[in-house]
Chain A
Amino acid sequence: MELVFKNINFLLTGAYYTMLITVVSMFFGLIIGLITAIARLKGNWLISTLAKGYVSIIRGTPILVQIFIVYYGLPDFGITLGPLTAAYISLSINIGAYLSETFRGAILSVHKGQTEAAASLGLTPWQTMVKVVLPQAARVAIPPMGNTFIGMLKETSLVSIVTVTELLRSAQLLIAQYYTAMPFYVAIALMYWLMSLLFSNILNRIEVKLSKAY
């Protein structure tokens, strides 16, 4: 156990990268997910088919394969990415596909009468989306989004394979150095758990805030 405390700074740096990857991927994933959801619902045939294809491919293939394609595959096309950048890109694209389904359901859950009322007041479809539909959809989307967010936090451990020194890889490096596994794995398990508690707490607060009108 002293080994853990002796190397706590190294592990905390790993935890910092895990958090960073989670937050950055979630942020871009939110944007991608929102655009994809709106594209599927409001786009013309071509746009909605493209969006649908993207979601289908991402959801139908292992995330590890997606990470490998971005990190090891793209250099064949002359695109060489650093491990961290590759992690951001592959995870954002992955999370975007899952979130788009959440958002699509949430947008569809907003009653048609809301859109009609907004239209009759003279709002454009875009203004209706921003002022009326999305704020109501957000409330519906928060709980499933929380699940995706916590899932993302744990899936970041996969990018250790492309040599991003996040929390899991930090532990593995220490294990290789000290030839003892248990204390490090238990320590990082605890750290993952604490981070997921932190995130669910934040999301709960947002949910309470959005629900105050109901």
Chain B
Amino acid sequence: MSAFLIRRLLRFVVVCLGVSLVTFSILHASGDPVALIMPEAAEADRAKLREALGLSDPLSTQFVRFVGNAARGDFGRSFFHREPAFRLVVERMPTTLALTCLAVALALAVAVPVGIYSAVFRNTVGDHAATVVVFLGQSMPVFWIGIMLMLLFAVQWRLLPVSGWGTWSSMVLPAVTLGAFTTPLFMRIIRSSMLEVINLDYVRTARAKGLSEWLVICRHALRNAALPIVTVIGLQFGLLLGGAVLTESVFAVPGVGRLIVGAIRQLDFPIVQAGVFLLAMIIVSVNLFVDVLYVYLNPTVRLR
């Protein structure tokens, strides 16, 4: 167990370094960042800025400095907001995370019953219908679902606010939009782990003992589905955060995604770096947590 933990932590550190390298290279990907920041300036002015930003040092020195600063949450000041980039990103993080969590919760609320139904009544008309309906959510561009939902629920029927963030009601449409995109993933897992469990001996025994089928499923089968779902949340967290970016734009939600998208357009490198780095760190940490949790909850996993 502890050997596993050490190995896993080591890998975590290595991946963090890799993430730093990619984030670091964003600044250099488009050629000379200074020329992009001040396209009209004279070479002398550019040289000065290059000096000020430390861009004239060897790349290795720059990278070491970047990692050191990143570890302290220092990505420099935003070129446009004139505030520390990291703080701007952190300010918006709770919104994005709340949106993501809400969407996951909604998705589970739909996926669990539908997945169970679909497994129990496998290959019936109901199963196919349920599958298609749920799959619809994953087959539409996220922003398109958002616009359609907004037109129906906010403009046509006036049930919910059009956009914004803060009140519960304003969170419904963004969460449903992002949730619609996540539901099929969960439903598939629940369905297939249900199928796996449903014929196991102990479930059969339980059924034979006369408990109602529903209870059996809840007690025994769902417990088995829980871990894979957690794992997939970890694996798919990047996709979820990507969907959050689009949702945020449609519903004017003040989250990290919108900040980064704006920063990419303005070439505000400190924000892009801080934002991408922090999101990646969250994904890496979620995965670390999931792995450790998994081993902790299920000691029979073979460790290599």
| A and B held together in a complex | no
Chain B residues within CB distance 8 Å of chain A: none
Chain A residues within CB distance 8 Å of chain B: none
